[in-house]
Amino acid sequence: MTAIRFDDRVVVITGGGGGLGRSYALEFAARGAKVVVNDLGADIRGGGQSETSADLVVAEIEAMGGTAIASYDSVEQGDRIIDAAIAAFGRVDVLINNAGVLRDLSFKKMTDEDWERVYRVHLFGAFKVTKAAWTHMQAQNYGRIVNTASAAGIYGNFGQANYSAVKLGLVGFTKTLAIEGAAKNITVNAIAPIAGSRLLETISAREMVEALKPEYVTPLVVRLCAEHNRESGSLFELAAGWMAKLRWERTRGVSFDPGAEITAEAVDAAWDQLCSFDETDHPATVREASVPVIANLSRVG
């Protein structure tokens, strides 16, 4: 079994001051990477700022003989985070978009600020940091990016309309960048982890938080960032040592004659067949998704 190493690679981790981010930072450093530990030091709602959390992780890495620097900028100023990596180490090879906040409220009580804050950290923040890193990765013909989605985005979760929306948005972001990055040896994947963190502590019992160690998530992230990795555009769900890859599944559907009138009553009559998963397909591209549409259009005329 060949060891996965990151010697001479530069790894940028947002939200690197605790939980999953800290676990990633320590593991990449142990495998030879130069690490940029980015953490604004805000609370779980995105308020406040402190340099302590990032500094403590950097100190841990240096104590074990590794190399790291701290970054205290918000992901909304993603260019500053990447500029720090370039200034210190001359390149950026791996980016893990991990920073996050929560503003959990029922949709009725959710304010514009609750929506905007979650959007700006998770989705806009990932855009800003990735956009800043993208040019460097293209120029060096190499990059590994992992975005952090969530089960809430995949399945929905009460009180998390804001969080669910941006987390599923990151899946679409991932899939498109995987297509655009393929020619430049840039792979982009998303994970939907459950791990003991300060975000999970707000909704789960202490015993569960302690059992869902961040270290159970880290190995898959390391594998997705390996030099030999060719997986791209994929979504993985994982927790407590269990890992799985997700894909879209849809029913075979019903083909109505596009040359004739299609009524709501006809749709109602075909409802059971339209919604039945007895026969399915698994489109992975826009082209594959369009196959039955094109086939149905061929019936016209």
- Which residues form the catalytic set? 163
Q: How many CA atoms are closer than 13 Å to the CA of 140, on its beta-carbon side?
A: 16
**42-64: string of b/e by CB count within 10 Å (b at 16+)?**
beeebeeeeeebbbbbbebbeee
Count the residues in the chain.
Answer: 301
Residue type at 65 in one-letter notation: G
Question: How far apart (Å, rounded) are the C-alpha atoms in residues 195 and 209?
Answer: 7
- Residue 21: Cβ-neighbour burial (10 angstroms; 0-12, 13-18, 19+): buried
* C-alpha–C-alpha distance, residues 82 and 175, integer Å: 22
